[in-house]
Amino acid sequence: MEFDEAGDPGDLIDRRGEGGLGASGGGLGGLAGVILGGMLAGRRRKAGGGMGMMLLLIVGFLVMRSCGAGGFDLGAMSGLDQLPGLPGATPGQQLPATGNPTEVGGDDPQAADVSFANAVVTDANDVWSEQFRVSGQRYNRTKIVLFSGGVNSGCGAATAAVGPFYCPADSLVYLDLTFWDELANRFGAGGDFAQAYVIAHEVGHHVQNELGISSQVRKIEEEDPEAATGADGLSVRVELQADCLAGVWAHTTYERKLLDEGDIEEAMAAAQAVGDDTIQRSTVGRVRPDTFTHGSAEQRRSWFRRGFKSGSSEDCDTFSAETLED
């Protein structure tokens, strides 16, 4: 895919050059990392409305759910995770950086990947800013934090093994760029739009956080932990909605003629590769739907495809869907 403009440096926090991670007292405390400032003015993307309607539908469902029966766990094998809190990790925990951290500045071997990640998150921010504006709401931009090996976030300490994640506590997306090799080699899903799908999925979690969906879900899970579990539990519904929102963003890239031939196929391949059933089959040899946290391969493909075809967030209401199958 080709972007019309470079990413906004204000949407990027580059922490790859850090060595070990010291205690921060609260995840991202202090000025750890290189925060690149500056905003590009006048950026606006074409997008439809419907955010208000989606929020009304979802909140209505969550209120009913909290009054009756209920329905997040990390799902670490999938690589695409929302972190309400990392098991066994606490904010400020010291983690060693693994491998050889990239020296930021000079000849950066990851420069192209940095630029692309920045461009994707900026474009997604622009799209959702416009959709929120049309619905009379304010959207607070997220940033993408690039790290090497390990990182402290508002949700706790994490290593690259967790994969890309979004932390609702600090409203940031986290990514170790070495995940692109894992996505291509382990999951068999290479290509720039496969990477774009991953980032757009995490920005989808930010949209959920901005709408108050994340906090509503966590509240229900605290009252009824079993509500999160299972093939149709809240955890799966949250993740499939993020896939659908990634599809809505992808629809706008199609409208703006940013896509190359085969881009959507790359995203669909990535969605399938990180399905719970695909990963369970390849790692433990059998599928257990009762342990799903992100949805099956077909569900993930289906909800991404739904968002891409319609281009409307109103079609991403996984919470009131009677079935999560297409």
DSSP string, 253-300: HHHTT-PPTTHHHHHHHHHHHT-HHHHHHHHTSS--GGG-SS--HHHH
DSSP string, 170-195: TTEEEE-TTHHHHHHHTS---SHHHH
DSSP state of 58: H
Q: Is the pLDDT of residue 46 over 80?
A: no
Residue pair 102/110 in contact (Cβ under 8 Å)? The answer is: yes
Which of 43-47, 48-52, 165-169, 265-269 shows the lowest mean pLDDT across its residues?
43-47
- Higher per-residue confidence, 225 vs 155: 155
Q: Where is 134: in which H helix or E strand?
A: helix 111-134
Alpha-carbon distance 234 to 220, whole Å? 9
Structure tokens at 275: 């399905």
How many residues are listed for the chain in this entry?
326
- Higher per-residue confidence, 292 vs 308: 308
Task: Calculate the CA dihedral of residues 194, 196, 202, 207 and round it to 10 degrees.
Answer: -130
- Higher per-residue confidence, 160 vs 10: 10
Domain locations along the chain:
9-316
Amino acid symbol at 134: V
SS3 for 159? strand
CA distance readout (Å), 1 to 164, 245, 301, 304: 21, 19, 20, 18
Beta pairing, strands 12-15 & 34-35: antiparallel
Which pLDDT value is given to residue 273?
86
Burial class (CB in 10 A: 0-12, 13-18, 19+), 262: exposed
Which pLDDT value is given to residue 247?
96
**What's the predicted TM-score (pTM) here?**
0.75
Alpha-carbon distance 152 to 271, whole Å? 27
**CA atoms within a 13 Å half-sphere pointing along the CA-CB vector of 119:** 18
SS3 for 66? helix
A 10 A CB-CB count for 289 gives 14
Which pLDDT value is given to residue 282?
78
Alpha-carbon distance 136 to 115, whole Å? 31
Which of 76-80, 117-121, 124-128, 186-190 shows the lowest mean pLDDT across its residues?
76-80
CA distance readout (Å), 61 to 5, 160, 211, 216, 294: 39, 35, 14, 10, 20
Model confidence over 211-267: pLDDT tens digits? Answer: 999 888 888 888 887 777 778 888 889 999 999 999 999 999 999 999 999 999 999
